[in-house]
């Protein structure tokens, strides 16, 4: 597995965590961006997570994906990455 950029995030509970960025997707004709990431890139099969990434007060915040259209876009990207 290739080396991913590592970034630190802070959870709403104040816990600091490191995640490995796989890619950032931009939704066509929209301002939404999605972060695909993992916590462990050392395994042969990694778990891929996805969140909306947005900027609030000068900081990046991860938010849940709730719309079906957004999930469809993310799932398509994950499928392409896994091939």
For position 1, what pLDDT does the model report?
43
DSSP letters along the chain, please?
A: -PPPEEEEEE-TTS-EEEEEEEEEEE-TTSS-EEEEEES--SSSS---EEEEEEEETTEEEEE----HHHHHHHHHHHHHHH-
The pLDDT value given to residue 57: 82
Instruction: Mention every residue, 6+ apart, whose C-beta is less than 8 A from residue 41.
Output: 1, 3, 4, 20
| pLDDT recorded at residue 3 | 64
Q: Is the pLDDT of residue 28 over 70?
A: yes
What is the mean predicted confidence (pLDDT) over 43-53? 84
Radius of gyration of the chain (CA): 13
């Amino acid at each position: 597995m290739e080396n991913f950029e590592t970034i630190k995030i802070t959870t709403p509970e104040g816990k600091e965590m490191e995640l490995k960025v796989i890619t950032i997707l931009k939704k066509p004709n929209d301002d939404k961006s999605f972060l695909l990431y993992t916590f462990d890139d050392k395994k042969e099969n990694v778990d891929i997570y996805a969140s909306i990434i947005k900027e609030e007060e000068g900081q990046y915040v991860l938010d849940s994906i709730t719309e079906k259209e957004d999930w469809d876009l993310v799932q398509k990207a994950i499928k392409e990455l896994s091939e």
